[in-house]
Structure 1
Amino acid sequence: MLKTVEPHLQIQLLKTVTDRVESRLHTHILKCITTISDRYFEAGSTVVISLPSDSDFLRIEPPRETPHSEQITSHDLHFQNIKTYEATFLLRHLHGTLKWLVVTSQGSAAQHHHYKWHNYILWASDTVRKQLEFLKSFGQAWDPRGRFIVVLNKISTNPRQQARVVLKELKEAKILNVIILVPASREDHKIDIYSWFPYKSPTGKCGQIRTAILVDQWIIHKSGYFTRNASLFPIKVPRDLGKCPLTVSTFSFPPFTILGNQNSTYEGGFEIRLVEFIARTMNMSIVYIAPSSKLWGQKLENGSWTGIDSDLMLNRADVGLAGSILVQEEATHLDFTVNHGSLGFKWVVPCAKPFPRWKSITRVYSLAAWISIIITIFFAAIVFMCLARYGDQELAFYKTLTGCVLCSWAVMLGVSAGSAPVSGYMRSFFIFWVWYSLAINTLFQIFVTSYLVDPGFTKQIQSVQDVLESGVQHGFHPDLNDSLSDESDELLTKIVQHSEPCNDVEACVQRVAQRGDFVTISNHMRIEYLNTYKTLDNNGKSLVCTFGDNVIQNFKTFYLPQGSPLLYHFNRAIRVAVQAGLVDYWSESELVASRIKAASIRKISPLDDYTVFILTYLQSAFYLLFLGYGLASLVFVVELFCYNTFSHSKSRNLNLNRRLRQASCRSF
């Protein structure tokens, strides 16, 4: 005879059975997580456990004490604190094995973590968006390329669609290496494990998610096991990406990037060749875009960025390049590849310009020497006059100061004097004066001739002290300020304090070359390239020069969005190109091509030192000739004026005297 059971006892019995099934499910979820952790989390690394804010996980505490009348069995107490038990069991297992450093999401984002967290366990209901935002706030510790286990503790009627929604949220955070544990229905006794492959059909295409794929299942039977034992964290980004687009944000910055005839294509530049090599290695097609403004980019007061940095942070581009170097501020917000070579920065100054040829005569002797020669001429004239007046035999020409000055001046200029001296004293001093004048004239003619042919150059800036003393303006790109901050160097500190911001590097270098009134700092590869073609004069000589050793030593790199899944393949291709010598070959090829272009404007000098003496070299002599003619004409006009004035004055005086005599005669 069967015994009937009251309805309320039936409901209680059904609830007890359901709780037992749920408890068994959660126990196997924990076993599945711990099994995956043991297999795929590297020993000694960090495991981050993130719990949703609306869950009882955040209140991990022992069960409250109850009076004896309300006490229940330990089994029923276990069911009342299932979530607390799960968290406690998971933390106890992960930390108790002493294999990993365990971090919970209850930590503070204000703490400083100087190492990456590579393993993550996220326990969620249906979304992980808030948990991801909180984990990102840990800054450098956050690693979207780590391994993620996401547990959805709600049983869904469509687990694949539920997994796809969460995968889409993870994809926005650039998380690809992830598996999602979704409990199947209570009747199936299994846990589905979903993932996706962003570049492999049918789950994804070119990084865009299409659907979630079932990679394995955990069977809830006894201690539990996997049905396939498949690799849960395989390589998600293959080497062959099937011609997916690679968006490159760059601008023309020779020799790194050289724009072609069309504004959207690039015909050269060794970094363009390098990124093309990377694209061929990964089987991707390149799409170039130009940054909106500010070239490399700057951080604005509102926290936003401009230029290439903006394109990368807003995910408009996959990679940014244009002679980029490692900068601390950009490196904290973006990912960067391994370097493909060092890059030194030097002072860029205008090259010394030739002296004007008309200054060749004045440059023979210094101002003090010219004054000494003039004083010597007058001193010789005084000696001539004294010797002439000492005796009675000398000509009257030498007894006047004017005659002696004309004589000494004529001998100094190498022309004949008015008359030869007669007395012995005069002739002896005259011969000494001729010898002195001959020596002065010989030196003058030698140097004048050499200066006329090769006038020489003005003083070249060769040190930081020369930059300050020259008085020219100076400036450089703001990204170099941190590298130039050296309080121990007083001269460099003065340079930085009085420098101008040079955001347009191209315009600053052109100002140095064309106007010669500016000094800047630029990388040596760019200056070497410009000196082969663009910054040459009509004779093929460089207009910009450098001095000293490198002021800054840095490394060339490419920037990618933070968490980019392409970083590993970029680094691999760059290492291959560097070790094969391709990067050096491409950079040297650009210099060779530029030298070939420069051959059309460069004049080839003859093999010997022979120089044709042309009329242009005598411009200073003609300037002096015309100046002499002008002065002579002016003196002649003044003499005529004085003569006419004196003649009229004399005639008036004669007429006045005549009238006075006539008047006196009449009075008598």
Structure 2
Amino acid sequence: MLLALLPSSVNGIVYVRIRNERGPTAARAGIQCLELLSHTYFNMRETTQIENIVIFYLQNLSSPAREILLGYLQLHHTGYDIHEDDDDDEDGEPESQFQLKLMSDSVSSDDLRRAQFMDHKQIDYYVIVIDSFEGLQSALDRISATAAFNPRGKFVVLYNNPNDRDSNARLANRALGHLFVGHHSVNVLFAFAIDATSYHVYTGDPYHGATDCGQMKALKVATVVNGSFASRALSTAMINIPKVPPELESCTFLLCTRVAPPFIDLDCSRGLELQIMDLLRESMKFKVNVSCSTMDRGELEPDGSWSDLLGLMRADECDIIAGGFSPDFDVHDAFGSTTLYLQDYYTWFVPAAGPDARWKLLVYIFEPTTWEAFAGVLFVSALVWRLVAHYLPELAAHRELSMCFLNTWSVFLCISANNRPECNALRLLFMGLTLYALNVTTIYTSILITMLTNPPLAYQMDTIEEILASGVPIGGRLDSEDWFINDFADDRLVSEQYNATSEFQPSLDNLQAVVEGKRSLLMSRLYVRNTKYNGLVHGLSRDVLVTQIEMIMEKGFPLLPKFNRILSNLIDMGIMQKLWNDFLYNVTILDRIRAHRALSEADIIAASPEVVLTLDHLQSAFALYGIGMCLCVVVFLLEVLSKTRW
């Protein structure tokens, strides 16, 4: 009909229509773009485990994003075996790359967190196809809720929306910033469809800037047209540039620390962990701002938030936290951590037993069995004296049993005897007994000198059972209480009485309370050794726990892999052992030298090791003499009663 209306010179009509942005050509170009980026960016590492890839399925995608996702998933659901015909794979052998996993937004992020079965093997690669920024947010909310979420994994995000072809730079900045700030991920490629078959590819560059380190900047690295790079060599090199340079001279990271000597000292300028951070800082040339606090590591709250230092780090107010922190499963599920580099030893601390009562020193010289033997010798000697005197022409006074006991006791004490025998036979017995007593006294005196200069201590409480039986309140840090929450009966008793209030935290004031016997604290041996109370409090002989020390950061912290490599090298080379020995010997000795230099002359005289005998020391001697006198009086009374005629 139209031809009939046209002039006779017109032979045909050409129909011109708008290019189909949603047809199979657009879908095929998107699938090829994903294939190309996956093959270029998802580089296989030498590993004994199969690397895995997650393809996220978003419901209600518009066309052609839906067709791109389904086509890509259909190609690879059988195990991701592909044949490459490009220059990098000339032999054409099949290349089995990844284990495929599928996630969907049909399950809420809360349900994923509460899932009973959780795969803890971290995901290596992620592929997400979206048609809106909200779709990316929804996918990341669910991906990050799983235990296998890996912020350092590689992401390929493809955006295709025929109604939006001009916001490539703005949307790339927004998407890359959301992944960087919200999920601490920097290994991201963002492909934006500028038409049906062409894509601009962006990646993040937060750490290469000279003045804006830590600020996400979108960098265009490639253009893909119909599944091919516009410049293959340049695009491949740009895509695989490391996101974190070997040196970060323009970057400053925030190190939040808990005061925990000797790892972090009170003035926040010294400590074993600060020395380790200095080694890391010198290696990678970054800067650190250190802040100190008395806040604890932090615990997971019922609402899902974190308290104390972990809460500050989750709010991006800290990049790294340190302060003698030990590994914890709950923390490791949500945060990253360094290689374990030091050990710490925890035990209960009680008042150190002081010197025993001075009047007991003269008794403690010999064992009780020795004193019993001496008493037996004394009794037998007195009876022999009485028996010999009975058959000799001695004075009547020398034959009395009480007098024999008194004379024998006086000889044993090496003091003048009341009456000396007149017969030679009894004198020989007297001389032999005197020589024996002199020998015993000499030994006693020689040991007495050592006993006075190094007096024995009173009984020392040394078990947790004794602490619990004494009724002394016990407690320590909140993160240490987890060690006692188990099925062991002894640990349950400790857990029931455990206090984590401020009065039971390691501090000098609380250590003074331990010295006074008001409470018992679970503390680090190293912490106590680094204070003036070392020697004034006693740590139980048995360690309650021995734990490793680590620094904590977000899982996606960019320097974490390099930190772990450096720390492993420092351990292998013995640098960590040297830092440990420096603390145990050099620092401890120097601190004590400084402490002694600060003493006044009066303090030095007061602390001298000279032993001054007091009346308390002489109580033992008078007590022994009094016991002998009482014994003689008893014997005398018995003798009088036996000879009295009633």
Task: Give the corresponding residue for 1:101.
Answer: 99
1:180 pairs, out of 180, 190, 196, with 190
Q: Structure 1 residues 498 and 370 mapped into 2: Cα distance closer, same or farther (>3 Å)?
A: farther
CA distance in 1, matches of 2:277, 2:250: 14
Once the two structures are TM-superposed, the CA of residue 446 in structure 1 deviates from its matched residue by: 3.7
Q: Conserved in 2, the CA contact under 8 Å of 1:508 and 1:520?
A: no
Q: How does 1:235-250 map to 2 (within 5 A)?
A: 235-250=242-257
Once the two structures are TM-superposed, the CA of residue 181 in structure 1 deviates from its matched residue by: 1.6
1:616 pairs, out of 600, 612, 619, with 612
Once the two structures are TM-superposed, the CA of residue 113 in structure 1 deviates from its matched residue by: 0.8
CA distance in 2, matches of 1:33, 1:486: 50
Q: Conserved in 1, the CA contact under 8 Å of 2:342 and 2:576?
A: no
Q: How does 1:245-394 map to 2 (within 5 A)?
A: 245-260=252-267, 266-291=268-293, 293-294=295-296, 296-339=297-340, 341-343=341-343, 345=345, 347=347, 353-365=354-366, 394=394
Task: Give the corresponding residue for 1:86.
Answer: 68
1:167 pairs, out of 176, 182, 185, with 176
Once the two structures are TM-superposed, the CA of residue 625 in structure 1 deviates from its matched residue by: 7.4
Q: Conserved in 2, the CA contact under 8 Å of 1:159 and 1:182?
A: yes
Q: Give the aligned residue type for 1:28.
A: A
Q: Render the CA deviation track for 1:504-557: whole Å, top value 9, x for unaligned.
A: 245699469845898776666556x53xx74456xxxx9656757x76554332
CA distance in 2, matches of 1:347, 1:440: 44
**1:567 is aligned to 2:574:** no
Q: Conserved in 2, the CA contact under 8 Å of 1:421 and 1:427?
A: yes
Q: Conserved in 2, the CA contact under 8 Å of 1:326 and 1:557?
A: yes
Q: Give the aligned residue type for 1:305.
A: W
Q: What is the DSSP-based 3-state SS (H/G/I as helix, E as strand, rest coil) of the residue aligned with 1:206?
A: coil
Q: Render the CA deviation track for 1:533-583: whole Å, top value 9, x for unaligned.
A: 74456xxxx9656757x7655433221112222213323443454455443
Q: How does 1:122-141 map to 2 (within 5 A)?
A: 122-127=128-133, 128-139=136-147, 141=148
Q: What is the DSSP-based 3-state SS (H/G/I as helix, E as strand, rest coil) of the residue aligned with 2:60?
A: coil
Q: Give the aligned residue type for 1:173.
A: H
CA distance in 2, matches of 1:498, 1:398: 71
Q: Could you tell me the percent identity over the aligned residues? A: 19
Once the two structures are TM-superposed, the CA of residue 596 in structure 1 deviates from its matched residue by: 1.7
Q: Render the CA deviation track for 1:22-77: whole Å, top value 9, x for unaligned.
A: 43223211110011112222454222112334337xxxxxxxxxxxxxxxxxxxxx
Q: Conserved in 1, the CA contact under 8 Å of 2:359 and 2:619?
A: yes
Q: What is the DSSP-based 3-state SS (H/G/I as helix, E as strand, rest coil) of the residue aligned with 2:561?
A: helix
CA distance in 2, matches of 1:486, 1:185: 61
Task: Give the corresponding residue for 1:149.
Answer: 156
Q: What is the DSSP-based 3-state SS (H/G/I as helix, E as strand, rest coil) of the residue aligned with 1:559?
A: strand
Q: Which moved more, 1:422-431 or 1:567-576?
A: 422-431
Q: Conserved in 2, the CA contact under 8 Å of 1:270 and 1:583?
A: no
Task: Give the corresponding residue for 1:598.
Answer: 592
Q: What is the DSSP-based 3-state SS (H/G/I as helix, E as strand, rest coil) of the residue aligned with 1:208?
A: coil
CA distance in 2, matches of 1:511, 1:430: 58
Q: What is the DSSP-based 3-state SS (H/G/I as helix, E as strand, rest coil) of the residue aligned with 1:243?
A: coil
Q: Structure 1 residues 49 and 3 mapped into 2: Cα distance closer, same or farther (>3 Å)?
A: farther
CA distance in 2, matches of 1:439, 1:25: 112
CA distance in 2, matches of 1:416, 1:312: 83
Q: Conserved in 1, the CA contact under 8 Å of 2:125 and 2:154?
A: yes
Q: Conserved in 1, the CA contact under 8 Å of 2:362 and 2:621?
A: no
Once the two structures are TM-superposed, the CA of residue 338 in structure 1 deviates from its matched residue by: 2.3
Task: Give the corresponding residue for 1:59.
Answer: none
Once the two structures are TM-superposed, the CA of residue 345 in structure 1 deviates from its matched residue by: 2.6
Q: Structure 1 residues 30 and 614 mapped into 2: Cα distance closer, same or farther (>3 Å)?
A: closer
CA distance in 2, matches of 1:20, 1:297: 52
Q: Conserved in 1, the CA contact under 8 Å of 2:257 and 2:293?
A: yes
**1:46 is aligned to 2:39:** no
CA distance in 2, matches of 1:131, 1:367: 80
Q: Conserved in 2, the CA contact under 8 Å of 1:343 and 1:525?
A: no
TM-score (norm 2): 0.73
Q: Structure 1 residues 419 and 552 mapped into 2: Cα distance closer, same or farther (>3 Å)?
A: closer
Q: Render the CA deviation track for 1:206-241: whole Å, top value 9, x for unaligned.
A: 2223x5332211124xx6443455132421122333
Q: What is the DSSP-based 3-state SS (H/G/I as helix, E as strand, rest coil) of the residue aligned with 1:248?
A: strand
Q: Give the aligned residue type for 1:152.
A: Y
Q: Structure 1 residues 409 and 236 mapped into 2: Cα distance closer, same or farther (>3 Å)?
A: same
Q: Which moved more, 1:165-174 or 1:303-312?
A: 303-312
The structure with more radius of gyration = 1
CA distance in 2, matches of 1:144, 1:234: 18
Q: Which moved more, 1:125-134 or 1:362-371?
A: 362-371
**1:117 is aligned to 2:123:** yes
Task: Give the corresponding residue for 1:556.
Answer: 549
Q: Conserved in 2, the CA contact under 8 Å of 1:147 and 1:233?
A: no
Q: Conserved in 1, the CA contact under 8 Å of 2:259 and 2:294?
A: no
Q: Structure 1 residues 147 and 4 mapped into 2: Cα distance closer, same or farther (>3 Å)?
A: farther
CA distance in 2, matches of 1:380, 1:182: 112
TM-score (norm 1): 0.70
Q: Render the CA deviation track for 1:271-298: whole Å, top value 9, x for unaligned.
A: 212212323333332212234622x333
Task: Give the corresponding residue for 1:657.
Answer: none
CA distance in 2, matches of 1:479, 1:117: 29
Q: Conserved in 2, the CA contact under 8 Å of 1:292 and 1:307?
A: no
Q: Give the aligned residue type for 1:117.
A: I
Q: Structure 1 residues 302 and 405 mapped into 2: Cα distance closer, same or farther (>3 Å)?
A: farther
Q: Structure 1 residues 525 and 163 mapped into 2: Cα distance closer, same or farther (>3 Å)?
A: same
Q: Conserved in 2, the CA contact under 8 Å of 1:34 and 1:93?
A: no
Q: Conserved in 1, the CA contact under 8 Å of 2:452 and 2:611?
A: no
Task: Give the corresponding residue for 1:207.
Answer: 214
Q: Which moved more, 1:396-405 or 1:239-248?
A: 396-405
CA distance in 2, matches of 1:173, 1:375: 85
Q: Conserved in 2, the CA contact under 8 Å of 1:246 and 1:279?
A: no
Q: Give the aligned residue type for 1:563.
A: G
Structure 1 gaps, min length 5: 6-12, 57-80, 261-265, 604-611, 632-668
Task: Give the corresponding residue for 1:447.
Answer: 447
Q: Structure 1 residues 124 and 441 mapped into 2: Cα distance closer, same or farther (>3 Å)?
A: same
Once the two structures are TM-superposed, the CA of residue 309 in structure 1 deviates from its matched residue by: 2.4
Q: Render the CA deviation track for 1:423-467: whole Å, top value 9, x for unaligned.
A: 688667656655665555444434334322333445678888998
CA distance in 1, matches of 2:420, 2:580: 75
Q: How many residues align?
A: 567
Task: Give the corresponding residue for 2:198.
Answer: 190
Q: What is the DSSP-based 3-state SS (H/G/I as helix, E as strand, rest coil) of the residue aligned with 1:599?
A: helix
Q: Structure 1 residues 274 and 430 mapped into 2: Cα distance closer, same or farther (>3 Å)?
A: closer
Q: Structure 1 residues 525 and 410 mapped into 2: Cα distance closer, same or farther (>3 Å)?
A: closer
Once the two structures are TM-superposed, the CA of residue 116 in structure 1 deviates from its matched residue by: 1.2
